[in-house]
Structure 1
Amino acid sequence: MKLEQTTSKYDEANVFLMKLMDQEEEMLENFNKEISKMRQVERNYLENMSKDHEKAMLELEARRNELMSREMDLQKRQVDNDNESNKLYLERKQNEMAIEEQRKADEKMMHLAEEHKARI
């Protein structure tokens, strides 16, 4: 009877230990799954961050190129404006000189007309 009780207690302890080991194994498996999930989440996060960073860099590069293009366009316009201003200045100077020449010619004509009148 004592042997049967001891054997029974031994079997109970063995079953208890087996359940405990199964629980430990299940807990370890769940822990490893959670760690894997966390690592995957971290990888996804870093990958998204990297993509966002890349996208931002491309947008900044595009913006820089656009601004450089606009700057070059403005510089060209400034050169064109300077050329137009110089051209206008020269045309006004020529016009002023022509007006002055016309005025002198008019004075000469008036003077000649007066001389001609005086002779008649």
Structure 2
Amino acid sequence: MRILLAEDDAKTAECVVMALESLGHKVVVASNVSDALVCLDHDSFDVAMLDIELGNELSFQIAEQLTVRGLPYFFASGRDPADMPMVYAAAPYLRKPYLLEQLVTILRTQCGSIGTTKF
């Protein structure tokens, strides 16, 4: 599975990439909104994992583009999910810090229809 990871913390991104690649997935990291949007324009993904705060930007513009394209996504953030804008309040949310098991569960939920996906 191809996963877009929008994450500005290099150590967090490295850990997530290592964990997901060990499960056989390909992960592309974007550390800001602009880079994530470029990735969406030039590559295809099965799912996206979005940190809400990317430096001094918020990832809602990425979520909007994912919605338009019909691609599943979820937020992974340390922010309180109660502070989400109403338009994203129902979006899947993984609260940091999280366990690999929780990440795998949300990926299964978002991509359960992908036939031979290995988790």
**What range is the shorter-chain TM-score in?**
under 0.3
The answer to which structure has the higher strand fraction is: 2
The structure with higher relative contact order (CA 8 Å, sep 6+) is 2
Please identify the structure whose Cα radius of gyration is greater. 1
Which structure carries more helix by proportion? 1
> What is the TM-score of this pair, normalised by structure 1?
0.14
Normalising by structure 2, we get a TM-score of: 0.14
